[in-house]
Amino acid sequence: MNMGNANGEHAIEALQAQAHIWRHAFNFVSFMSLKCALDLGILDIIHDHGKPMTITELVSALQMLNPAKACDIYRLMRILVHSDFFARQKLDNDAQEEVLTPFF
């Protein structure tokens, strides 16, 4: 086996191991985001709405939310979409809607 090839394989294995560790170290983010969404009642709000909601509609439905925290709801929903708890759907006017994914 070529020495350069062995070093390359070792580097790839080391990178994969590091990615594996980081993935598990930050795995709590999706769980804490889901807990936050449950505590805020976001899942119930979207379900009771009966159709996809925009972030603006969601923020206005969150009655206990300080309006200054609206950007935080957008960030929270981005994490939840990335974690496949929600799906994002485009509207005709280029706005975004949040919808429950089929497994809910």
Provide the CATH number for the domain around residue 79: 1.10.10.10
- Residue 55 included in any domain: yes
Full 3-state SS string of 56-74: HHHHHHCCCCCHHHHHHHH
Structure tokens given for 100: 């429950």
Rg (CA), the chain: 19
Q: Is residue 84 part of a domain?
A: yes
The verdict on residue 18 lying in a domain is no
Helix (H) or strand (E) holding 100: strand 96-100
Cβ proximity of 102 and 95 under 8 Å: no
Q: What sign does the dihedral 62-67-69-75 (CA atoms) show?
A: positive
Give pLDDT tens digits for 29-84: 989 999 999 999 999 999 999 888 888 889 999 988 887 888 899 999 999 998 88
Instruction: Tell me which residue range forms the domain holding 36.
Output: 31-100
Domain-located, residue 14: no
Structural domain contains residue 21:
no
Does residue 47 form part of some domain?
Answer: yes
Render pLDDT for 70-91 as a digit per residue (tens, 0 to 9): 889 999 999 999 888 998 887 7
Quote the number of domains for the chain. 1
Of 8-12, 13-17, 78-82, 93-97, the one with minimum mean pLDDT is: 93-97
**Cα torsion 89, 92, 94, 96: sign:** negative
